[in-house]
Structure 1
Amino acid sequence: MPSLTPIDRSPLKHTYPYGADDLEMSLSTTERMSACIERVFREYPRCRRVIVGVDVDDLEGVRACESAGMHFVVDVETRDGAELNLMVAEPDRVKKHSTDIDSLELT
């Protein structure tokens, strides 16, 4: 299984506006990542995102993530200078929310 790191202990925490329960997952095979994502969303209902940082030149890694159900979000640079593609998996309950800023309820 790929390793999981709470985002607040990951160098990726400085690269995007993370949620408190997001998890970073290590790059692995499609099958292992897919199984890990499924397990995370089943066992950690507060987790909104599973993130994998893939080297910008690693097209095979990006394809493996996409085949595991992840999608590309943004290119980032970590504080140590690594350039990464952030690949993200979100559970259906998160994907159903609108991303249209004009329809967001503000309190």
Structure 2
Amino acid sequence: MFPWKVVALVLVCAIIFHDPVSGAPRFPCTVRHKNGILRECDPLHKTPIFKPHTNSKCCMAVRMVPERNMLCIVSKLTLEDKTKYSASKVLGFKDACKLSSTPLLLHQAK
């Protein structure tokens, strides 16, 4: 095979199988997700830190965000939002609203 054929083949493969790596999430969050978190979870600076119940409306709003990506939610906060709401509280909702993979024990033997 001639060298130019090899170069052409490599070039064709590079064009066909080009898959750029991107750091952006596949399904980014939206302003609607952000507004739901702020409305249901109320992560104000002035309120004490709280852990929402896993079945609360707050956790339901957190689970609506793709991959519970609270960093994406924080990136959507405006300057006005950042003065009112706590970004660290928003970031904590990801772990606080994680569903347990262990089954609940309804009846325990004594």
Give the shorter-chain TM-score range. Answer: under 0.3
- Looking at both structures, which has the greater relative contact order when contacts are Cα pairs under 8 Å and sequence separation is at least 6? 2
TM-score (normalizing by structure 2): 0.27
TM-score (normalizing by structure 1): 0.27
From the CA coordinates, give the structure whose radius of gyration is larger: 2
More strand by share: 1
More helix by share: 2
